Amino acid sequence: MEKKQKEFSLWYFVVAFLILIAIENFLLSSHLENLSYSDFKVLLKAGKVEDLTLREKVISGKLKKEGLEGLLPKEKVEELQRLGKGEYHFVTVRVDDQSLIQELEAAKVRFAGQVESTWFGSLMSWVLPAVIFFALWIFFMKRMGAASGIMEIGKSKAKVYMEKQTGVSFDDVAGVDEARAELMEVVEFLKNPQRYRRLGGKIPKGVLLVGAPGTGKTLMAKAVAGEAGVPFFSISGSEFVEMFVGVGAARVRDLFAQAEGKAPCIIFIDELDALGKVRGFNPVGGHDEREQTLNQLLVEMDGFDTNKGVIIMAATNRPEILDPALLRPGRFDRHVALDRPDLKGREKILLVHSKAVKLSPKVDLSVIAARTPGFVGADLANLVNEAALLAARKGKDDVEMADFDEAIDRIIAGLEKKTRVMNPKEKETVAFHEAGHAIIAESRPHADRVSKISIIPRGVAALGYTQQLPTEDRYLLKRTELLDRLDVLLGGRVAEEIVFGDVSTGGQNDLQRATDSARHMVTQYGMSERLGLATFEEPRTSPFLNIPMPQGQREYSERTAQAIDEEIQKLLKESHTRVKETLISKRSILESLAKLLLEKEVIDRTTLDHLLETQRNAVVITKKGV
Ligand code: ADP
Ligand code: ZN
């Protein structure tokens, strides 16, 4: 709409310009020469000119009717007659001719002078162009302003999207039951704030949705607003960060003011990481724009009262880089994780998205789900759409399994470039790797128990993960516990070594952590017998914020450095040997756990217990047999 109008007003200028040209032409046409100066002089000398007007640039006048033929060519005479409609008007361009006046007097011609332009002429020559230029200038300034926000500094209206009703419900978000259960509470708060306020409780302010891109964070936030029936304000973190210092902060202020007027409501900030990155040591010094905006956000979050019913939701796929201040109590203290969906979840999401699509009765969504490990909600939505388009292109009446197969192949080819989907061989490697971690964790007395093993890729680096739940919060760790942790870290790599006789790059992060852990044991905790009770390094993090500090100067000799390296190597080597022994002796459990992982992708504690139990029984039986 708006755009159309702008183009329309551009037409005004075009039309005005054309009219101007026409007027100019018309004015000029009365001045157009129809007689050359030399001819004029000939006629003047022959006494054929009467009634002359001298202007600055042209001379015009009338010729006597008789006796022109001998002096001018025949066509010229006819032309003059035609133009003058019987009278012989002429116009000639005035040239620098000193003797003209004398000649005129000699020929006894009546002549008069005339000043070139009237008010109309001067209007044409400069007022109108000035007006047009001014109008054009205003027009383009307005355009530029609309594009870059110059005209509306600090007004977030242009970029905040407000939806009175999102129209999304929890039923539209499938396969994320845990997140849904957690967010149900927020919906309750919004629907019925008095009930929670009655006993003096404080409604939560901020909920952070964490998950890979396309896992449905935005959709989930909209669903919360939809379920509660409240307005939904959304803005992206990257939109806060503007080129003008202070604009972002003003936007934040404006956003909160707008939202408060519409409470109860939800404010959703997408890509929180764009704005909430750790405030580090700025080498240039001073506050930069992003930092100011972040500070303003913190101030607003602290300042407003949730009892009004404004809940701030934010989404990020990089929670680890967020400023710790954002995660403090009273800010984004509730975290809801949206994982990549598992087999069942994928099937449910497919079901949601294929509702509007005409499926052939032979299509089995569970088979499709099994073929798409690593796909997130957005990928699955895309898949259904792609399959429908393929079927339509082939002129089919409904979408068949073959269309889905083709669509999966296409999407996987796209995703593989982004290293999010594994081929079967890779998947097997990851399964053994994670099984290795899990079995070592289970066989070490001081290691945390395994709570979940998954080979659904997560983020860019991790292809799978083994989650361990500490039984309690730990502030002190004994040497034995640290050693057991070291073993668990190496478990994945060693399992690959034993099973495939080769190692992959997948364990790089494990090795990094194992090395760091060993280094700390040697250099900070004084746990190496050879180096004794000395510490060699200052802690590498800032004391209050959990952010890295610039590395200080090394305070020990080259020889000590070498000794430290050797000690680290020794710790890692010994751990490697221990882990290898354990895994070889438990090879059959390793194999069956990996097989189960390949089949189910995610294994929880109960399934693991069950597996370990049956394995133990099996071992007992074979031992009895021997
Ligand atoms: P994110 O904000 O996490 O990047 P979105 O919420 O923008 O992801 O998801 C993009 C699209 O993917 C949604 O509009 C929806 O169609 C689809 N989608 C994602 N997750 C789910 C889900 N759990 N259930 C149904 N659809 C989903
Ligand atoms: Zn690992």
Return the structure tokens found at 469: 């739940």
The continuous run of DSSP H or E covering 591 comes out as helix 587-600
Give residue 303's pLDDT: 80
Q: Which residues pair with 63 in a beta bridge?
A: 49
- Token pair 């009770």 is found at 533
Give residue 156's pLDDT: 42
SS3 422: coil
Q: Which ligand is nearest to the CA of 313?
A: 1
Q: Does domain 31-116 have CATH number 3.10.20.740?
A: no
The continuous run of DSSP H or E covering 369 comes out as helix 365-370
Strand order in the sheet with 334-338: 161-163, 232-236, 265-270, 310-316, 206-211, 334-338
Nearest 5°: the CA angle 317, 323, 326 is: 90
**Inter-residue contact 219 to 377 (CB < 8 Å):** yes
SS3 269: strand
- Token pair 């952590």 is found at 513
Identical topology for domains 31-116 and 159-280+288-338: no
What is the C-alpha to C-alpha distance for residues 421 and 427, in angstroms, rounded to an integer? Answer: 9
pLDDT digits over 302-358, tens only?
887 766 778 899 998 888 788 888 888 888 888 888 888 888 899 999 999 999 898
From the candidate CATH numbers 3.40.50.300, 3.30.70.1400, 3.40.50.150, 3.30.1120.80, the one assigned to the domain spanning 159-280+288-338: 3.40.50.300
What is the C-alpha to C-alpha distance for residues 511 and 490, in angstroms, rounded to an integer? Answer: 7
Q: Which ligand is nearest to the CA of 236?
A: 1
Cis status of the peptide bond prior to 129, with omega within 30 of 0: no
The residue whose CA has the least distance to atom 27 of ligand 1 is 377
Q: Which residues of the chain have pLDDT under 50?
A: 1-6, 147-158, 285-286, 459-461, 473, 541-547, 549, 624-626
φ, ψ for residue 316, nearest 5 deg: -155, 150
SS3 78: helix
Q: How far is the CA of 430 from the centre of ligand 2 (A)?
A: 8
What is the C-alpha to C-alpha distance for residues 27 and 8, in angstroms, rounded to an integer? Answer: 29
The continuous run of DSSP H or E covering 438 comes out as helix 424-443
Q: How far is the CA of 506 from the centre of ligand 2 (A)?
A: 7
DSSP-derived secondary structure letter, 89: E
Q: How far is the CA of 565 from the centre of ligand 1 (A)?
A: 48
Strand pairing report for 89-93 and 111-113: unpaired
The residue whose CA has the least distance to atom 25 of ligand 1 is 173
The residue whose CA has the least distance to atom 14 of ligand 1 is 219
Atom of ligand 1 nearest to the CA of 379: 12
The residue whose CA has the least distance to atom 6 of ligand 1 is 216
Q: How far is the CA of 462 from the centre of ligand 2 (A)?
A: 8
Give residue 563's pLDDT: 85
Residues 6+ apart with CB under 8 A from 585: none
Going by C-alpha positions, the residue among 351, 299, 304, 350 that lies closest to residue 325 is 299
CB-based pocket (< 6 A), ligand 1: 173-176, 211, 213-219, 315, 349, 352, 377-378, 381
The residue whose CA has the least distance to atom 15 of ligand 1 is 378
Q: Which ligand is nearest to the CA of 488?
A: 2
> What's the start-to-end Cα distance of the chain, in Å?
85
- Token pair 């909160």 is found at 256
**Inter-residue contact 539 to 524 (CB < 8 Å):** yes
Strand order in the sheet with 465-469: 465-469, 449-454, 602-604
Return the structure tokens found at 63: 């010729």
What is the C-alpha to C-alpha distance for residues 497 and 504, in angstroms, rounded to an integer? Answer: 9
Give residue 433's pLDDT: 92
DSSP-derived secondary structure letter, 359: B
The residue whose CA has the least distance to atom 21 of ligand 1 is 377
Domain borders along the chain are 31-116, 159-280+288-338, 354-413, 424-623
Going by C-alpha positions, the residue among 403, 367, 371 that lies closest to residue 384 is 403
Atom of ligand 1 nearest to the CA of 338: 3
Give residue 150's pLDDT: 43
Following CA atoms 68, 74, 78, 79 in sequence, which dihedral angle do they give, to the nearest 10 degrees?
-100
Give residue 178's pLDDT: 85
Q: How far is the CA of 218 from the centre of ligand 1 (A)?
A: 7
Give residue 537's pLDDT: 62
Going by C-alpha positions, the residue among 146, 136, 159 that lies closest to residue 3 is 146
Residue among 177, 210, 218, 219 whose CB has most ligand 1 atoms within 8 A, to mutate: 219
**Inter-residue contact 376 to 369 (CB < 8 Å):** no
Return the structure tokens found at 168: 């999304």
Q: How far is the CA of 20 from the centre of ligand 1 (A)?
A: 57
What is the C-alpha to C-alpha distance for residues 7 and 139, in angstroms, rounded to an integer? Answer: 11
**Inter-residue contact 89 to 115 (CB < 8 Å):** no
Q: How far is the CA of 316 from the centre of ligand 1 (A)?
A: 14
Atom of ligand 1 nearest to the CA of 315: 2
Query: Please, where are the H alpha helices in 60-176?
Result: 74-84, 100-107, 119-122, 128-148
Strand pairing report for 49-54 and 58-63: antiparallel
Q: Which residues pair with 162 in a beta bridge?
A: 233
**Inter-residue contact 334 to 208 (CB < 8 Å):** yes
**Exposed, middle or buried, 471 (CB in 10 Å: 0-12/13-18/19+)?**
exposed
**Inter-residue contact 576 to 494 (CB < 8 Å):** yes
Q: Does domain 424-623 have CATH number 1.20.58.760?
A: yes
The residue whose CA has the least distance to atom 11 of ligand 1 is 378
**Exposed, middle or buried, 75 (CB in 10 Å: 0-12/13-18/19+)?**
exposed
Q: Which ligand is nearest to the CA of 339?
A: 1
Give residue 479's pLDDT: 83
Between the alpha carbon of residue 23 and those of residues 53, 117, 133, 186, 366, the distances in Å are: 23, 15, 18, 70, 76
Nearest 5°: the CA angle 614, 616, 621 is: 95
Give the type of residue at 259: A
What is the C-alpha to C-alpha distance for residues 365 and 369, in angstroms, rounded to an integer? Answer: 6
What is the C-alpha to C-alpha distance for residues 507 and 492, in angstroms, rounded to an integer? Answer: 7
DSSP codes joined into one string, 466-518: EEEE-SS--S---HHHHHHHHHHHHHHHHHHHHHHSS--GGGHHHHHHHHHHH
In 390-464, DSSP assigns E strands to 449-454
Nearest 5°: the CA angle 233, 238, 244 is: 105
What is the C-alpha to C-alpha distance for residues 588 and 541, in angstroms, rounded to an integer? Answer: 43
SS3 267: strand
What is the C-alpha to C-alpha distance for residues 61 and 48, in angstroms, rounded to an integer? Answer: 11
CATH number of the structural domain 354-413: 1.10.8.60
Q: Which residues are identified as catalytic?
A: 434
